[in-house]
Amino acid sequence: MRMSALLSLLLWCLGANAADKPNILFLIADQHMVDALSCAGNPYVKTPNLDRLAARGMRFTRSYVAYPLCVPSRASLFSSRMPHELGIYGNTLGTDLADKKVPTMGELMRTGGYETAYAGKWHVHEAFPAYAPKKKTMPGFDVLPATGGKDPRKGDKKTEQKGPQCDPFTAEAGIKFLGDKHEKPFLLTVSLLNPHDICEFPTFDGFKTMAPQDETQLPPLRPNFKDTDKLPSTLNDPKANRGSWGYGKWQDLRWRQYQWVYYRLVESTDKLIGDVLNALEKSPYKDNTIVVYTSDHGEMLGSHRMISKEKLYEESVTVPLIIAPPGQAGSVDKTHNVIGMDLMPTFLDYAGVAAPASLRGKSLRPLVEGKPFAERDYVAAESFDPEARLIRTSRYKYVRYALGENREQLFDLENDPHELKNLIADASLTKEIERHRGFLAEWMKLTHDLEEGKGTELLAKIKAREGDADGK
């Protein structure tokens, strides 16, 4: 009788613990900029499914990435470490997260009793493990099989549209997972490629023909289409920044067509996200699943006459972030600076798993639940092509480039959200400038960052030795 009662108590405890642990559905897009949402007030794009997710969760408007480029950002996202700490300086070879000897999100979630599964783009380093010729493993995740399509890295040479070759099948894999029975709480990641296909626009005429003939339907030029004053010389390098893909010679019409196509790609991602959310709503897991949406980086979209990413302007380095626990009312956080590295400790917090002290992020769960949150002085980001580092405080953003002339930028984002006026020479802001320089020095020391300029040298050596795996 005593053994039976003890067994019953043990089974009850195990059941209670499992029930207390929420499932997490982690949705990731590629190259989705922070304001490309209709719920963010953008009239040129329609995102009804992300809007409905935001309507029942917390949407962060100041959500940064550690490095606005696919591989380093994703490595940071799944390790809560800065890319330079991992020895990752770009989309080059030698970037397998499994080789970095750091705890990863999936591995730690498994220690908390979670089933962890991954569908779609990984890119740290294998871009699409489900399409790999040999079975690939991911640190801490089971790779969900792709039931159709083809490896988007090889692409359809006729169209060069890569997303349609994999994204529907990525969503399908996630939907199938949600339709299956799971005894453990789960972390399911569904990682879509688009709107990354905008990278094909400059070299594929088919994208240009997508745009409507009626020019009145096209978005206007971005409000910060012109350059920032006192522009760092490294950003004005014609070969590196204004000659790439020939966009330095684009006329206004082409810039507007580029925006139009980008927004359609965002809408294609939104539709597939809607399919996954609908599957969750029909599943038995809907009342115990936290849904999180974000992107690995943004898109310049013509701001400062630039396209693509890897710049530390807001369009490239900020992304949507929505955290939606079940039964939560919608809200918008416009005051806290958060970063992709915060998601791993947030997930561990919900899972009841202690976060290692080595993680650079912090749990956002208190913010989501309206509880006290220890404010941070700043968040930091970096890039290495060109090499630059960023410090974002409550009002200002400080950027310092490693090479060239006019290396520093300071923006008052309260009064200049489009980053048009560089205040670095403003004598009235000398104390603020020194404060931000101090924060950067502190962060570089804390994270064992390289001497400025060394990252550029190292990246050049890596590219020369191994080649650029995916320059887009």
Question: pLDDT per residue over 437-462, tens digit each?
Answer: 999 999 999 999 989 999 888 888 88
pLDDT tens digits for range 396-415:
999 999 999 999 999 999 99
Instruction: Report how far Cα 296 is from the mean position of its chain's Cα atoms.
Output: 2
CA atoms lying within 13 Å on the CB side of residue 203: 11
**Mean pLDDT in residue range 82-104:** 89
pLDDT at res. 8: 34
**Which residue is listed with tokens 């490693």?**
402
Count of CB atoms situated within 10 Å of the CB of 357: 5
The C-alpha atoms of residue 461 and residue 157 are separated, in whole angstroms, by: 31
pLDDT tens, 157-172? 445 568 878 899 999 9
pLDDT at res. 95: 82
Extents of the domains making up the chain? 21-376
Q: Name the token pair of 143.
A: 């790779």
**What is the predicted pLDDT for the residue at 15?**
36
Distance CA 305, CA 242 (A): 8
Is the predicted pLDDT of residue 427 greater than 90, yes or no? Answer: yes
- Residue 97 CA to residue 71 CA, distance in Å, equals 10
Neighbours of 364 (CB within 10 A): 25
Q: Is 461 exposed, middle or buried (0-12, 13-18, 19+ CB in 10 A)?
A: exposed
- DSSP string across 342-409: GHHHHHHHHHT-PPPTT------HHHHTT------S-EEEEEETTEEEEEE-SSEEEEEESSSSS-EE
**Cβ atoms of residues 47 and 362 within 8 Å:** no
Over residues 344-390, the pLDDT tens digits come to 999 999 999 999 999 999 999 999 999 999 889 999 999 998 999 99
Which residue(s) pair with 400 in the sheet?
389, 408
* Model confidence pLDDT, tens digit, residues 229-278: 889 998 887 665 555 667 878 899 999 999 999 999 999 999 999 999 99
Mean pLDDT, all residues of the chain = 89
Please say if the pLDDT value at position 132 is more than 80. no
Strand partners, 186: 115
- The answer, yes or no, to whether residue 17 has pLDDT greater than 80, is no
25, containing H or E segment: strand 23-29
With a pLDDT cut of 70, the percent of the chain lying above it is 89
Integer angstrom CA distances of residue 284 from 182, 183, 274, 324:
10, 12, 17, 17
Start-to-end Cα distance in the chain: 67
**Residue 363 CB partners (closer than 8 Å, separation 6+):** 342, 345, 346, 348, 349, 355
Q: Which residues pair with 101 in a beta bridge?
A: none
- Please report how many Cα atoms fall inside a 13 Å half-sphere around the Cα of residue 9, on the Cβ side: 6
* Rounded distance between C-alpha atoms, residue 299 and residue 222, angstroms: 12
Pairing of strands 289-295, 23-29: parallel
What average pLDDT score do residues 142-153 get?
79
Q: Which fold has domain 21-376?
A: Alkaline Phosphatase, subunit A (3.40.720)
Q: Are strands 63-64 and 142-143 parallel, antiparallel or unpaired?
A: unpaired
* Beta-sheet pairing, 63-64 with 115-120: unpaired
- Asked if residues 156 and 84 have their Cβ atoms less than 8 Å apart, the reply is no
Q: Which two tokens stand for residue 113?
A: 């009793």
Name the one residue in this structure whose structure tokens are 């005593």: 2
